[in-house]
């Protein structure tokens, strides 16, 4: 990872195809700068399609803080690669279909500035948690109890670059849930934040395929969370709540 410059925020976008959707997402990030300077954030696009088709999308823009990377990281592991390419103080994993609403860029950079000293882990649930509030927690268990299965959502995840640098070359990453693997590695912090304010607009995408979605969530994801329970990072009550919420949603 490059250490010469540190913008406040990196939008780390893993992508494979979806060129028009990716274009709309990038466009939304720059559409409402609202006083934000380009050197305060960056946009990283990590493309794991062999023909590097996303590069054509990037070339349509002329922003100095928009960067393209080609990778052979397969499937969801591209998410991990996109974070490795980021140089910001806070690395925000961002789906290629997730557009920003007006005012979101300024608010997110404000979140980073406000929490830069304490480095509380920030997770964005975009109103999906149905309270529209910003909640703070002092323990990982309380945080996970409130977050429940949204811990699987890649576009909600972010990690401080300093924290990521300590683990990125040694952590064991789940092939379907790299973001959850990283999230669970942050269990020893004492400052967690869930921001449930609606700040994104998710574009409709073609039906996902290539994997057994039932197995991925009911077996692989639950196994990840169970490990966190078995190591004592979350309680039995929290583990049970996550499983039940996953079952009924």
Higher pLDDT, 3 or 16: 16
Is residue 58 very low, low, confident or very high in pLDDT (cuts 50, 70, 90)?
Answer: very high
What is the per-residue pLDDT across 189-198, written as a single tens digit (0 to 9) for each?
A: 999 999 999 9
Q: Is the pLDDT assigned to residue 102 strictly greater than 60? A: yes
Written as six digits, the tokens of 34 are 């609202």
**Global pTM value:** 0.94
The average pLDDT across 97-125 equals 98
Over residues 75-104, the mean pLDDT reads 98
Confidence of residue 1 (pLDDT cuts 50, 70, 90): very low
Pick the more confident residue, 32 or 131: 32
Residue 232 has what DSSP assignment? T
Res 129 pLDDT > 90: no
Q: Does position 2 have pLDDT exceeding 60, yes or no?
A: no
Q: Which residues contact 99 (CB under 8 A, 6 or more apart)?
A: 24, 25, 28, 200, 201, 202, 203
3-state secondary structure of 62: coil
Residue 37 CB partners (closer than 8 Å, separation 6+): none
Q: Which residues of 42-81 are buried (b: 16+ CB within 10 A; e: fewer)?
A: bbbbbbbbeeeebeebbeeeeeebbbbbebebeebbbbbb
What domains can you pick out in the chain, each with its CATH number?
9-206 (3.90.550.10)
**C-alpha–C-alpha distance, residues 120 and 139, integer Å:** 11
Percent of the chain with pLDDT strictly greater than 70? 96
pLDDT of 212: 85
**pLDDT higher than 90, residue 100:** yes
């Amino acid at each position: 990872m490059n250490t010469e410059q540190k913008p406040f925020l990196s939008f780390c976008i893993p992508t494979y195809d979806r060129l028009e959707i990716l274009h709309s997402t990038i466009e939304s990030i720059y559409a409402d700068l609202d006083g934000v300077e380009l050197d305060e954030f960056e946009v990283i696009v990590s493309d794991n399609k062999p023909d590097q088709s996303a590069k054509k999308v990037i070339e349509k823009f002329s922003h100095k803080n928009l960067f393209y990377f080609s990778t052979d990281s397969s499937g969801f592991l591209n998410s991990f690669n996109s974070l490795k390419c980021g140089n910001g103080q806070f690395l925000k994993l961002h789906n290629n279909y997730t557009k920003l609403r007006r005012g979101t860029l300024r608010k997110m950079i404000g979140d980073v500035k406000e929490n830069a000293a304490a480095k509380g882990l920030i997770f964005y649930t975009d109103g999906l948690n149905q309270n529209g509030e910003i909640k703070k927690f002092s323990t990982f268990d309380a945080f996970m109890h409130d977050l429940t299965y949204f811990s699987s959502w890649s576009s909600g995840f972010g990690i401080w670059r300093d924290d990521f640098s300590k683990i990125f070359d040694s952590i064991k990453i789940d092939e379907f849930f790299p973001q959850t693997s990283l999230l669970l590695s942050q269990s020893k912090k004492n400052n967690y934040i869930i921001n449930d304010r609606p700040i994104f607009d998710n574009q409709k995408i073609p039906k996902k395929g290539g994997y057994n979605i039932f197995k991925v969530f009911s077996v692989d994801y639950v196994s990840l969370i169970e490990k966190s329970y078995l190591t004592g990072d979350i309680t039995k009550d929290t583990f049970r709540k996550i499983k039940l919420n996953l079952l009924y949603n």
